[in-house]
Amino acid sequence: PGSKFQDKGVYFSYEACGEMDTWTARNNNKACVNQKTTSACFMTPKCVWTITQGCVGEELASNRCKTSFTRDATVWGRSDCSCVGFTNVTGFAKAEISTNNGTAHFDFPASVGASCRAWDD
């Protein structure tokens, strides 16, 4: 929750992963896609009725999805060499480094490399 990719919201998509969403219909009656009428859609927060898709989240119906995103290369890196880009991520990335005495293990914050700035400050 609250994580972002290059300062944009992060969402899970069954379609992007090549799967069909069978969970939402059964388990989340407040989801936009489960609102089958315009009135039910407009009464649900953050939902918008569209002619082509029915009720969807306002992010999917807005011009924000359709507008090309210009990234700030000084923050997110060049398009051919971008930084990781995920921010507000909790947890750790585990790393192993070979040493003369064996292997050293380190836990780095999951946000390491999120943007193009010194991460060890």
Q: How confident is the model at residue 25 (pLDDT cuts 50, 70, 90)?
A: confident
- Please give the tally of structural domains in the chain: 1
The distance from CA 92 to its chain's CA centroid, rounded to whole angstroms, is: 18
pLDDT value at 83 more than 80:
no
Nearest Cα residue to 56 out of 75, 42, 77: 42
pLDDT at res. 106: 87
Helix (H, G, I), strand (E, B) or coil at 119: coil
* Residue 73 or residue 36, greater confidence: 36
Q: Would you say residue 12 lies in a domain?
A: yes
Q: Would you say residue 55 lies in a domain?
A: yes
pLDDT value at 22 more than 70:
yes
Q: Would you say residue 71 lies in a domain?
A: no
Q: Would you say residue 39 lies in a domain?
A: yes
What pLDDT, in 10s, does the model give residues 96-117? 888 898 898 888 887 777 766 6
Q: Would you say residue 98 lies in a domain?
A: no
- 3 Ramachandran zone, left/alpha/beta (phi>0; psi -120 to 50): beta
pLDDT at res. 118: 66
Please report which residue ranges of the chain form alpha helices under DSSP H.
23-27, 38-42, 58-61, 63-66, 73-76
